[in-house]
């Protein structure tokens, strides 16, 4: 590692992150409900010839700011509307985040090996890989926050770069605001303020650079919001600021997640396979912060984690991806802990601690092949693939044996490199076996099946989880069948049939318009609801055409007027 130059390490990280984040991104269909939500919005913006107003189901939608849609539109212009193009920028930003963590860790600690381990921990952790390969706002948002805080700390450590660091801090924060809203400034600003307060250097920002940076922030981050508020007034303000921000502080969008322990458990689970090391690193950090003299880097990273965790912990609406902006800081802390434990010689306490953690993490991995065997027996339909699950288990066991050999021979560095391969191994297996589960996560196959039946002007009946995907893949009008349930957390301008009466009224309305036959893509619960309605209420009848994955494909018609075609 000492002989390798920065450019060599950066090149190696680029290759690794390309393979882990970008390679195979066009294999799996875009998934329900979120990947198709963002992709459909960008596609409709293009159809409406606008770069400023997000559209969904033919109407302006205000759920997220515009930056993610800009990136999607650029990708669609470069590569066409495809699975790969939709996932291109999340993967690209994932690669950028890995390089940013390497440079930040090196600047903070001055050691190339520690910086490389920091980047390796980040690029091989479960949630980071997942978000780099899916169409969400979280990867782009978190990388802009990472770049903002890295620029701030760079300027803090190097007075000659102070002006540039402060300016970049504001610029990257502005782009974060355009990705996900006010939190894009609150998180980096809160982190910087807490750090400067603890270090008693709060006058650091009292400079002309801060004034110019603030102006840049307003020039970049404010115009789109002003345009939307001027154009759509209270509708935009209520939906974006109240419904998607204030309301989620006091109301849980996903009730099962509203637990005090949700984020602590999620953080360590999503740091897999580095979970035990991350927990130990946080424990070690608390001890270091109690010392009389604490270096700047651990204090800064601790402030980063505390601010992120506190901002999201108080809100009742919780999702795993919300806490993602703290992962770069946790990866650097974990790498610092690992490096301090493995870089010394002899058999001191740090080396013994590393040996124990290595053995415990290896023991946890033993449950993986056992779990796969059980899952194969219980859920065989998900595991029919070109590369069988048992072949994968054999490969995985070979890797485990190699890891055990490294532990017993005290080759902990080699063990750590093998540990970093865990999630990429699962990724390879998932890509190889995607046909087994693709119909359960995407609506494309179901939509393709219905093309043989569907008339151009007939709305499709959809279960709530599938409606965005059905719209994306079919480009047809849709209506949600969701009897007895609540509506979307954010409004969707489409028929929402959540009572028996609304279902029958919708069908009757279109029957009067000489369109008495409908087709639907339902889940099990909405299919049962429709069965109940039609058993009790003639003259409508419903026929199950087929099932694809968890989707029930049906034909609904007036008795005697079925237009079903032979397959």
What pLDDT shows up at residue 383? Answer: 66
Residue 479, domain extent: 443-558
* Cα gap 542→558, rounded to integer Å: 9
Q: Is residue 301 domain-resident?
A: yes
In terms of domains, do 171 and 89 share one? yes
Do both 465 and 513 map to the same domain? yes
Question: What percent of the chain has a predicted confidence (pLDDT) above 70?
Answer: 93
Distance, in Å, from the CA atom of 414 to the CA atom of 431, rounded to the nearest integer, reads 26
Question: Does any domain span residue 567?
Answer: no
Q: For residue 343, is pLDDT > 90?
A: no
What is the rounded radius of gyration, in angstroms, for the C-alpha atoms of the chain?
26
Same domain, 505 and 356: no
Written in H, E and C, the secondary structure of 264-301 is: HHHHHHHCCCCHHHHHHHHHHHHHHHCCCCCCHHHHHH
Closest among 99, 141, 139 to 13, alpha carbons compared: 99
The residue with tokens 């996903």 is 254
Q: pLDDT tens for residues 171-199?
A: 999 999 999 999 999 999 999 999 999 99
Q: Give the Å distances, CA to CA, from 80 to 37, 51, 88, 93.
A: 17, 17, 11, 19
Looking at the structure, tell me whether residues 155 and 76 fall in a common domain.
Answer: yes
Measured distance CA(426)–CA(269) in Å, rounded: 15
Position 287 confidence tier, pLDDT thresholds 50, 70, 90? confident
Task: Give 306's contacts (C-beta < 8 A, 6+ positions apart).
Answer: 194
pLDDT in tens, 426-478: 998 888 888 888 999 999 999 999 988 765 567 899 999 999 999 999 999 99
Asked if residue 292 and residue 229 are part of one domain, the reply reads yes
Mean pLDDT of 47-51: 96
The contacts of residue 29 (CB under 8 Å, 6+ apart) are 83, 438, 441, 442, 444, 445
- Predicted TM-score (pTM) of this structure: 0.93
Q: Which of 27-41, 131-145, 306-320, 379-393 has the lowest mean pLDDT?
A: 379-393
The answer to whether position 347 is within a domain reads no
Q: What is the pLDDT of residue 389?
A: 78
Residue 551: strand pairing partners: 548
The answer to the question of residue 253 being in a domain is yes
131 and 238 housed in the same domain? yes
* Residue at a domain's end among 394, 415, 437: 437
Position 406 in a domain: yes
Please indicate, yes or no, whether residues 227 and 366 belong to a single structural domain of this protein. no
Q: Are residues 142 and 245 in the same domain?
A: yes
Mean pLDDT on 508-522: 80
Coil, strand or helix at 199: helix
From 298, 316, 339, give the residue that closes a domain: 339
Please tell me whether residues 207 and 269 are part of one structural domain: yes
Same domain, 331 and 418: no
Q: Are strands 496-497 and 517-522 parallel, antiparallel or unpaired?
A: unpaired
What is the spatial distance between Cα 223 and Cα 216, in angstroms, rounded to a whole number?
Answer: 11
User: Of the ranges 63-67, 311-315, 318-322, 391-395, which one carries the lowest mean pLDDT score?
Assistant: 391-395
pLDDT band, very low/low/confident/very high, at 567 (cuts 50, 70, 90): very low
Final residue in a domain of this structure, among 308, 339, 370: 339
Tokens of 485: 């349930």
Asked whether the predicted pLDDT for residue 540 surpasses 70, the reply is: yes
Q: Do residues 172 and 319 both lie within one domain?
A: yes
What's residue 181's pLDDT? 95
* Number of domains forming the structure of the chain: 3
Q: Is 254 left (phi over 0), alpha (psi -120 to 50) or beta?
A: beta
The winner for highest mean pLDDT among 157-161, 198-202, 400-404 is 400-404
pLDDT higher than 70, residue 561: no
CA 553/CA 439 separation, integer angstroms: 12
What pLDDT score was predicted for residue 474? 92
**Are 269 and 307 members of one domain?**
yes
**Domain annotation covers residue 563:** no
CA distance 519 to 461: 6
Is there a domain that residue 29 lies in? yes
Per-residue pLDDT band for 346 (boundaries 50, 70, 90) equals very low
For residue 456, being part of any structural domain is answered with: yes
């Amino acid at each position: 590692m000492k002989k390798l130059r920065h450019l060599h390490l950066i090149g190696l990280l680029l290759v690794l992150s390309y393979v882990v984040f970008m390679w195979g991104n066009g294999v799996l269909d875009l998934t329900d409900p979120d990947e198709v939500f963002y992709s459909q919005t960008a596609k409709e913006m293009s159809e409406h010839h606008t770069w400023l107003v997000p559209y969904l189901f033919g109407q302006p939608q205000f759920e997220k700011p515009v930056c993610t849609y800009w990136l999607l539109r650029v990708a669609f212009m470069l590569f066409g509307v495809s699975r790969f193009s939709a996932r291109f920028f999340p993967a690209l930003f994932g690669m950028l985040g890995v390089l940013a963590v390497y440079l930040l860790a090196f600047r903070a600690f001055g050691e190339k090996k520690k910086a490389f381990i920091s980047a390796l921990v980040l690029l091989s952790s479960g949630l980071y890989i997942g978000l780099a390969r899916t169409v969400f706002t979280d990867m782009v948002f978190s990388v802009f926050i990472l770049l903002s805080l890295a620029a701030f700390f760079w300027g803090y450590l190097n007075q000659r770069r102070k002006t540039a660091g402060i300016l970049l801090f504001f610029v990257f924060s502005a782009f974060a605001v355009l990705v996900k809203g006010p939190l894009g400034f609150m998180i980096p600003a809160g982190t910087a303020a807490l750090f400067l307060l603890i270090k008693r250097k709060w006058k650091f920002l009292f400079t002309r650079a801060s004034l110019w940076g603030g102006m840049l922030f307003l020039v970049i981050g404010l115009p789109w919001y002003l345009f939307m508020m001027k154009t759509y007034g209270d509708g935009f303000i209520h939906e974006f600021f109240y419904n998607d921000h204030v309301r989620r502080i006091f109301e849980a969008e996903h009730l099962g997640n509203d637990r005090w322990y949700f984020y602590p458990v999620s953080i360590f689970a999503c740091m897999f396979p580095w979970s035990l090391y991350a927990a130990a690193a946080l424990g070690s950090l608390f001890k270091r912060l109690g010392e009389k003299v604490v270096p700047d880097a651990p204090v800064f990273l601790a402030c980063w984690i505390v601010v992120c965790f506190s901002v999201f912990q108080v809100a009742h609406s919780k999702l795993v991806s919300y806490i993602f902006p703290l992962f770069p800081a946790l990866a650097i802390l974990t790498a610092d802990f690992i490096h301090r434990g493995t870089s010394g010689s002899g058999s001191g306490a740090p080396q013994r601690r590393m040996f124990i953690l290595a053995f415990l993490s290896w023991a946890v991995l033993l449950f993986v092949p056992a779990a796969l065997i059980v899952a194969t027996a219980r859920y065989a339909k998900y595991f029919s693939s070109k590369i069988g699950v048992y072949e994968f288990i054999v490969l995985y066991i070979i890797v485990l044996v190699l890891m055990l050999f490294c532990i017993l021979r005290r080759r902990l560095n080699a063990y750590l490199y093998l540990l970093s391969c865990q999630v990429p191994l699962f990724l390879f297996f998932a890509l190889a076996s995607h046909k087994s589960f693709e119909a359960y996560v995407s609506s494309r196959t179901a939509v393709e099946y219905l093309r043989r039946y569907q008339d151009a002007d007939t709305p499709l009946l959809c279960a709530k989880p599938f409606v965005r995907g059905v719209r994306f893949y079919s480009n047809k009008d849709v209506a949600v069948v969701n009897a007895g349930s609540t509506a979307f957390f954010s409004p969707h301008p489409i028929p929402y049939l959540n009572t028996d009466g609304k279902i029958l009224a919708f069908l009757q309305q279109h029957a009067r318009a000489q369109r008495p036959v409908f087709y639907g893509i339902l889940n099990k619960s909405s299919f049962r609801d429709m069965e109940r309605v039609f058993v009790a209420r003639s003259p409508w009848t419903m026929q199950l055409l087929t099932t694809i994955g968890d989707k029930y494909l049906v034909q609904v018609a007036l008795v005697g007027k079925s237009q079903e075609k032979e397959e």
